[in-house]
C-alpha cells in the first residue's frame, strides 16, 4: 500500500469519506480548518455534500437533520466551536442518532489560543451538553490513527446509535506523517440497516419520528434508562488502550493522544538510563479502559499522568487503579507542548524517590 | 535501493513566510518517506506566519517518531536574522547549521557545531532561480550529509510538484545542483 504524507486533518477527512461520510457540515476555526478545506475540494468529486454553515450552531443542527435520515455525516471544529455545538450534540444524543464530531483541541478556556492543547477532556468525557448521555470518545495519537479511528467512530456510532467524538489536538491536526488507506471503492452511505431513519416510507410502514422532547417524566426516564443499558454494552465492547514496556515497569506513565508519543520518547530515554519505565495510553477516553489501565499498572510502584492540561485525566486514572498507587501529575497548558526531556525529568525524580524508600 | 545515509535527523527550517521554508521541509520529509523511513513534518501555525517568521520541524528516523516538535535540531537551515538569533544556540552539539549568508548577518562563534554559510539568495538571483534559495540550501544539505541520493531527489520533487507545474522540477534540480556545488 502506498504511504502518503498527509496532515492529520487531511488524513482524517479522507478516511471519513472512505468510511462513507456523505455529508460534511463545517465552519472554519484554527487548527482544524484543513478538514473543511479538504472536504470542500474532495466531496463534490465523490458525489458527497460539503456545506459551510453560517455558524457552528447551524452546522451541528444540520448534522442532526442529516443523521435523522440515516446518512453518515460529520462536523468538525476546535475547542470554542465545540462548546457552541454542545446544545446540538445533546439533542442528537437525546434522539439516539449516530454521527461523528471532530474536536482538534486548542488552548482554552474562552477563545484561549490556537496552539495544541488537551484541555477539553472533561467536556468530552463528562458533559458535551446537558442531560443524561455520553458520547464515544476516541483519542488518536498518530496521523495513521486519525484515519483509522474516524472509520471506527462511524462504525461504532451506527452500531450503538450515539454520537462519536474524535478528540485530537492541534499537533496531530497540523503535522504530516505517512498514512496508508485500504484500497477499495468509495461507497457513500445510505439508510439501509437503519429502520429508525426518517428517509421516506412510501406508505409501506408507519412513519418514524426523531425527537428528544418527552414531557411525560416516566417516558423520558424510560428512554434514558434504555440508553444507559446500551452504554453497558458499549463499556463491555469498546474500551481500548495500548501499553508499552509496562509489564515490568516500576513507573508507568499514563498519557493519551499526542502527549502519549512525547511520553513514549521519555520512556525510551528512561529505559536507556536503566530506569524501569513504561507507558499506558488510553485510546478510548469514554468508555475509559479501566481494565487495561489496571493491568498495565499491576507491577508498578508509581504512576505519572502527563497531559497538555491542568490534569483532567488524573481522577480517571486513580479510579482505574482503584487508588492503590501514588499518582503524580505533570502537564503543560495553554498551548505549550511538553518536551520529552521534561517528562523524563519527572520520571527520574520518581525513580530517585523509589530508591530512597 | 537508495544509498542515502540512515541517520536520525531532527531538523528545523526557519525564515520569513514566502521563502519556501515549509516547501523545503516537505522536500526533506519526502526524502525520508520515499526512503522507506519514519518521518514527521510540523509547521509553526501561529499568527506570526503572516509576514513574519515561518518555521517547521522535520524528523526522519528508523523508529516511530515521538515528538514531531524539534527543540534541539541536529540540522538547522536558516534564512533570516530573527530565526538565526532564535535557533543558532539551540542546535545540538555536533550539529550542522546551514545559513543563507545573503540574508543573515550573524556568524556563530560556537565551535561544537559546523556552520556553513551559503549566499543562497544571491546565487538564486544570479542564476535566474529567484525564490529558490531554499532549494539551494537543501542542495548544500545533501552535499554535507548525504541525506538523499540523486535518484531520490528527483523522485521527491516529482512527487510534491503538481503535474500542472511540471517544468518546475528541472528548475529545482538546477537549484539543488547549485547548492551541491557551492
Q: Model's pTM, two decimal places? A: 0.95
- DSSP H or E segment with residue A264: helix A257-272
Would you call A261 and B66 a contact, using CB atoms and an 8 Å cutoff? yes
Chain B residues touching A337 at Cβ < 8 A: 67, 69
**Does residue B2 surpass a pLDDT of 60?**
no
Asked if A265 and B67 come within 8 Å (Cβ–Cβ), the reply is yes
A246 grid coordinates: 509496562
Note the pLDDT tens digit of each residue in B73-117.
999 999 999 999 999 999 999 999 999 999 999 999 999 999 999
Please tell me whether residue A92 adopts helix, strand or coil conformation: helix
Best residue of A1, A2, A4, A5 to probe chain B, by most B CBs closer than 10 Å: A5
| Cβ-based contacts of A261 with chain B (< 8 Å) | 64-68
User: In this complex, do B38 and A265 lie within 8 Å of one another by their Cβ atoms?
Assistant: no
A105, A113, A178, A271: which to substitute to probe chain B, counting the most B Cβ within 10 Å?
Answer: A178
Q: Which architecture, in CATH terms, is B9-181?
A: 3-Layer(aba) Sandwich (3.40)
ipTM over 0.85: yes
CB of B30 closer than 8 Å to CB of B80: no
Candidate from B33, B43, B66 with C-beta closest to A3: B33
**Count of alpha carbons within 13 Å of A222, Cβ hemisphere only?**
7
Contacts of A142 in chain B (CB under 8 A): 64
DSSP A191-235: STT-TT--S--TTSSPPP-------SHHHHHHHHHHHHHHHHHHH
Which tens digits make up the pLDDT trace of A8-35? 999 999 999 999 999 999 999 999 999 9
**A258/A139 Cα distance (integer angstroms):** 9
**Angle of helix A79-94 versus helix A56-68 axis, rounded to 10:** 30
Domain residue ranges of chain B, discontinuous segments joined by +: 9-181
| pLDDT computed for residue A118 by the predictor | 98
pLDDT in tens, B123-170: 999 999 999 999 999 999 999 999 998 889 999 999 999 999 999 999
What's the average pLDDT block by block, 10 residues per block, for chain A (357 residues)? 94 97 96 97 96 98 98 98 98 98 98 96 97 98 98 97 98 97 84 92 91 97 98 98 98 98 96 98 98 98 98 98 98 96 98 93
Set of chain A residues whose Cβ sits within 8 Å of the Cβ of B30: 5
Domains located in chain A, CATH noted:
4-199+225-237 (3.40.50.970), 241-356 (3.40.50.920)
Amino acid at each position: 500500500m502506498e504511504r502518503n504524507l498527509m496532515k492529520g486533518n487531511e488524513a482524517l477527512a479522507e478516511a471519513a469519506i472512505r468510511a462513507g461520510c456523505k455529508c460534511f457540515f463545517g465552519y472554519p476555526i484554527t487548527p482544524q480548518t484543513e478538514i473543511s478545506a479538504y472536504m470542500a475540494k474532495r466531496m463534490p468529486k465523490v458525489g458527497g455534500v460539503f456545506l459551510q454553515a453560517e455558524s457552528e450552531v447551524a452546522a451541528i443542527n444540520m448534522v442532526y437533520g442529516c443523521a435523522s435520515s440515516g446518512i453518515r455525516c460529520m462536523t468538525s471544529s476546535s475547542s470554542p466551536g465545540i462548546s457552541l455545538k454542545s446544545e446540538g450534540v445533546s439533542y442528537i444524543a437525546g434522539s439516539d442518532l449516530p454521527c461523528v464530531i471532530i474536536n482538534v483541541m486548542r488552548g482554552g478556556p474562552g477563545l484561549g489560543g490556537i496552539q495544541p492543547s488537551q484541555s477539553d477532556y472533561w467536556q468530552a468525557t463528562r458533559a458535551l451538553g446537558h442531560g443524561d448521555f455520553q458520547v464515544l470518545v476516541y483519542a488518536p495519537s498518530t496521523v495513521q490513527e486519525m484515519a483509522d479511528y474516524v472509520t471506527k467512530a462511524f462504525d461504532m456510532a451506527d452500531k450503538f446509535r450515539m454520537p462519536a467524538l474524535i478528540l485530537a489536538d492541534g499537533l496531530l491536526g497540523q503535522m504530516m506523517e505517512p498514512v496508508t488507506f485500504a484500497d477499495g471503492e468509495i461507497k457513500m452511505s445510505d439508510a439501509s440497516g437503519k429502520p429508525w431513519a426518517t428517509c421516506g416510507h412510501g406508505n409501506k410502514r408507519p412513519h418514524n419520528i426523531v425527537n428528544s422532547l418527552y414531557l411525560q417524566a416516566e417516558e423520558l426516564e424510560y428512554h434514558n434508562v434504555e440508553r444507559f443499558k446500551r452504554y453497558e454494552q458499549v463499556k463491555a465492547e469498546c474500551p481500548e488502550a495500548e501499553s508499552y514496556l509496562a509489564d515490568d515497569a516500576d513507573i508507568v506513565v499514563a498519557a493519551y493522544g499526542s502527549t502519549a508519543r512525547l511520553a513514549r520518547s521519555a520512556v525510551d530515554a528512561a529505559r536507556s538510563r536503566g530506569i524501569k519505565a513504561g507507558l499506558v495510553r488510553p485510546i478510548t477516553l469514554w468508555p475509559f479502559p479501566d481494565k487495561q489501565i489496571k493491568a498495565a499498572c499491576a507491577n508498578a510502584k508509581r504512576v505519572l499522568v502527563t497531559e497538555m492540561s491542568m490534569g483532567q485525566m488524573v481522577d480517571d486514572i486513580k479510579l482505574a487503579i482503584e487508588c492503590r498507587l501514588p499518582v503524580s501529575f505533570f502537564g503543560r497548558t495553554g498551548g505549550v507542548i511538553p518536551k520529552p526531556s521534561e517528562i523524563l525529568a519527572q520520571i527520574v525524580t520518581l525513580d530517585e524517590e523509589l530508591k530512597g524508600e | 535501493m537508495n544509498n542515502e545515509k540512515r541517520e536520525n535527523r531532527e531538523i528545523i527550517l526557519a525564515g520569513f513566510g514566502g521563502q519556501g521554508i515549509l516547501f523545503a521541509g516537505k522536500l526533506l520529509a519526502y526524502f525520508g518517506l520515499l526512503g522507506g523511513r519514519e518521518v514527521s513534518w510540523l509547521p509553526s501555525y501561529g499568527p506570526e506566519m503572516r509576514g513574519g517568521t515561518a518555521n517547521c520541524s522535520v524528523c526522519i528516523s528508523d523508529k516511530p517518531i515521538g515528538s514531531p516538535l524539534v527543540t534541539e535540531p541536529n540540522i538547522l537551515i536558516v534564512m533570516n536574522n530573527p530565526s538565526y538569533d532564535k535557533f543558532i544556540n539551540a542546535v545540538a552539539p555536533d550539529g550542522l547549521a546551514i545559513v543563507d549568508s545573503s540574508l543573515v548577518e550573524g556568524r556563530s562563534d560556537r565551535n561544537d557545531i559546523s556552520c556553513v554559510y551559503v549566499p543562497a539568495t544571491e546565487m538564486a538571483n544570479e542564476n535566474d532561480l529567484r525564490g529558490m534559495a531554499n532549494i539551494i540550501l537543501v542542495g548544500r544539505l545533501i552535499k554535507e550529509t548525504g541525506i538523499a541520493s540523486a535518484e531520490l531527489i528527483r523522485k521527491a520533487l516529482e512527487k510534491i510538484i503538481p503535474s500542472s507545474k511540471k517544468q518546475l522540477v528541472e528548475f529545482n534540480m538546477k537549484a539543488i545542483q547549485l547548492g551541491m556545488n557551492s
